[in-house]
Amino acid sequence: MTKKIFHSILLAAVFVLLASLVIIMGCLYDYYRNVQEKQLRDELHLASYGVETGGSGYLEQLASPYRFPSVADYRLTWITADGEVLFDTHVPAAEMENHSDRVEVREALAEGESEGVRYSQTLTERTLYCAQRLSDGTVLRISISQLTVFALAMGMLQPILLTAIIAVILSALLAHRMAKSIVAPLNRLDLDRPLENDAYEELSPLLGRIHQQHRQIEAQLRELRRKTEEFEQITENMNEGLVLLDGKGVILSINPAAQKIFHADNSCVGQDFLVVDRNHEVSLAIQTALKGGHSEIRAGRNGREYQFDISRITADSLTAGTVLLAFDVTEQATAERSRREFTANVSHELKTPLQSIMGSAELLENGLVKQEDVPQFVGVIRTEAARLVRLVEDIIHLSQLDEGIAPAREQIDLLELADSAASALRERAEERHIDLSVSGENLMVDGVRSFLYEMFYNLIDNAIKYNLDGGKVEAVVLAGDTGATVSVKDTGIGIPPEYQARVFERFFRVDKSRSKASGGTGLGLSIVKHIAQYHHADLNLHSTVGEGTNISVAFSADK
């Protein structure tokens, strides 16, 4: 802005200077010309009087510059009415041509006086003429040569240029100082507080509008910061990964959950998404989203399974970028696999006893069984049918636990419930000479009686099934650090370390032959796990092959 003001002032000053020079020279030249014309007329009148009184002798005296130096620059010519030159101060009369065709001579003869101007061929000089008719009919003419404006200007070119250069330099210095002084108040403006500035009064309306706009901008910035903070709080606390990309696939924002998924940090903002993840399928989905499509992809990351939803972001019907949402579907995928495995296992578990029942029934129906063997086949049918009933009951029970369907909760004495379950299984333990005992404290918990009874029953039943003849099973109820703890310990065959993490899965059996022989459904410990989860209890297993297994359930007093 300072430069623009400086140039404007300098150009204005130079223009004024040039215009002033032209006007001054024109005025001076006009004044000089008027003075000369007046002097020329005065000299003509004096000379006319002299010729009237003194004749040609007077003219001869004027022709001597030594006697009349004041008229040396003038040229006097005496001409007859026929145009013959009688006398000339500069050229002998005999050498001069007839002047009857000269304009000034004709006008003087006709009107008594005349004036005229003639320019040289180079336009650098002009000649002024004045002529007067005398009483005897002759004409006296006086003339003088003077420089034209052009010649005068050319003659004064050097001083004019010198003056102009000095004037331009002074104008430049003055323009620079003026520009700085004009801009200085503007540079001192405090736009944060525009109404408090002591600047030009003419700027008051502008400063008022700036103040109003400043308040509006501050309000918009506050709202933007609030929304940004709100957006950051939401995205930072999201369990889902969120990545925002612009129209070129460059990362605009990535929340902590997404950073964890892609092993990235905030430094990746501003970089291409390919720097973070080079998965071809995801990259292709981003390109599809930029073209208006929508993609859902499942892919594994960090040992977990994620679903990536990629969609286009539009602004004014134009593509502004894409949004990538990553959902952790590991549990869902695991549940789906479990359901598929459960369905397959149920089909297998149902098929085996049904085939046994059908086989025995067909043999009996076709009379292929000896009479003495009929009770045996009927027993097989009864055993397999009972096994089917237990299997269906366990499946129904698991379904109820999965759906959260349960009777009303009540205060239950765990020691009493453990003793009740042990009593129901004591006969089976005695058949194998297994010492079954229940001990501990009468501790109360809030729970579902039927569920907790089945938990004790399955734990003790399992301890008997996988025990050695003559072994021990001990159920203990004690007060733990956070609440009641129930443990069922046996001296059985134990569980190998590689299977310990899977024993609570549905239909999983470590020793399948022993389980089938004892009529187990493979769902006992899975039901125990679900009952413990339902009561917010912690389930722990400790087992050593050849020494036995200890399964404990720790209840929390505040749940």
Q: What pLDDT does residue 69 have?
A: 43
Q: Domain for residue 105, yes or no?
A: yes
Q: Are residues 349 and 301 in the same domain?
A: no
Q: Are residues 299 and 322 in the same domain?
A: yes
Range of the domain at 232: 192-237
43/256 Cα distance (integer angstroms)? 110
Q: Are residues 23 and 43 in the same domain?
A: yes
What pTM does this model have?
Answer: 0.42
Q: Domain for residue 179, yes or no?
A: no
Mean per-residue pLDDT for 378-395? 74
Q: What pLDDT does residue 38 have?
A: 86
Q: What pLDDT does residue 298 have?
A: 85
Is the pLDDT reported for residue 349 higher than 80?
no
Q: Are residues 130 and 141 in the same domain?
A: yes
Q: What pLDDT does residue 344 have?
A: 65
Q: Which of 559, 525, 556, 558 is nearest to 543 (CA)?
A: 525
Q: Are residues 74 and 211 in the same domain?
A: no
Q: What pLDDT does residue 488 have?
A: 94
Report the half-sphere exposure of 43 (CA within 13 A, side-chain side). 25
Question: How are strands ordered across the β-sheet holding 85-88?
Answer: 85-88, 75-79, 139-147, 125-133, 113-119
Q: Which residue has the higher pLDDT, 429 or 391?
A: 429
Q: Using the 3D structure, point to which of 260, 294, 327 is the last residue of a domain.
A: 327
Percent share of the chain, pLDDT over 70? 82
Q: Which residue has the higher pLDDT, 250 or 303?
A: 250
Q: Are residues 135 and 24 in the same domain?
A: yes
User: What's the length of the chain?
Assistant: 559
Q: Are residues 209 and 252 in the same domain?
A: no
4 falls in which pLDDT band (50, 70, 90)? confident
User: Per-residue DSSP letters for 128-154?
Assistant: EEEEEE-TTS-EEEEEEEEE-HHHHHH
Residues 490-500 have pLDDT tens digits of: 999 988 988 88
Identify the CATH number of the domain in which residue 539 sits: 3.30.565.10
Q: Domain for residue 126, yes or no?
A: yes
**195-204, 486-495, 507-516, 518-527: range with lowest mean pLDDT:** 507-516
Q: What pLDDT does residue 297 have?
A: 86
Mean per-residue pLDDT for 515-541? 75
Mean per-residue pLDDT for 169-191? 75
Identify the CATH number of the domain in which residue 357 sits: 1.10.287.130
Q: What pLDDT does residue 440 have?
A: 92
* CA–CA–CA angle 122, 123, 128 (5° rounding): 125
**Total H helices, total E strands in the chain:** 15, 17
Q: Are residues 419 and 548 in the same domain?
A: yes
Q: Which residue has the higher pLDDT, 496 or 395?
A: 496
Q: Using the 3D structure, point to which of 307, 327, 347 is the last residue of a domain.
A: 327
Coil, strand or helix: which one is 412?
strand
Q: Within its chain, how far is the Cα of 69 from the centroid?
A: 94
The number of folded domains in the chain is 5
Residues 201-232 have pLDDT tens digits of: 666 677 677 778 878 888 899 898 888 888 88
434 falls in which pLDDT band (50, 70, 90)? very high
Q: Which of 384, 396, 302 is nearest to 350 (CA)?
A: 384
Residues 75-108 have pLDDT tens digits of: 888 888 888 888 888 888 888 888 888 888 888 8
Contacts 24+ apart (CB under 8 A), 313-320: 313/244, 319/247, 319/290, 319/291, 319/292, 320/246, 320/247
Q: Domain for residue 176, yes or no?
A: no
Q: Within its chain, how far is the Cα of 356 from the centroid?
A: 71
Is the pLDDT reported for residue 68 higher than 60?
no
- What lies within 8 Å, CB to CB, of 531 at 6+ separation is 401, 451, 452, 454, 455
Contact 465, 520 (CB under 8 A): yes
Q: What pLDDT does residue 159 have?
A: 78
Q: Are residues 422 and 525 in the same domain?
A: yes
Q: Domain for residue 175, yes or no?
A: no
Q: What pLDDT does residue 475 have?
A: 94
Q: Domain for residue 181, yes or no?
A: no
Q: Are residues 80 and 10 in the same domain?
A: yes
Identify the CATH number of the domain in which residue 296 sits: 3.30.450.20
Q: Which of 387, 316, 327 is nearest to 355 (CA)?
A: 387
Q: Using the 3D structure, point to which of 140, 155, 170 is the last residue of a domain.
A: 155
Q: What pLDDT does residue 66 have?
A: 40
Give the start-end residues of each E strand in 387-455: 410-413, 435-440, 444-447
Element (H, E) at 119: strand 113-119
Contacts 24+ apart (CB under 8 A), 267-272: 272/248
Q: Are residues 229 and 244 in the same domain?
A: no
Chain-wide mean pLDDT for the chain?
A: 80
Mean per-residue pLDDT for 461-475? 92
Is the pLDDT reported for residue 186 higher than 80?
no
- What lies within 8 Å, CB to CB, of 344 at 6+ separation is none
Q: Domain for residue 173, yes or no?
A: no
Q: Are residues 7 and 142 in the same domain?
A: yes
Residues 109-165 have pLDDT tens digits of: 888 888 888 776 555 677 888 999 888 888 888 888 776 666 666 666 787 788 878
Give the strand pairing for 125-133 and 295-301: unpaired
Q: Domain for residue 90, yes or no?
A: yes
185/255 Cα distance (integer angstroms)? 48
Query: Helix 2-54 vs helix 157-187: angle between axes, to the nearest 10 degrees?
Result: 150
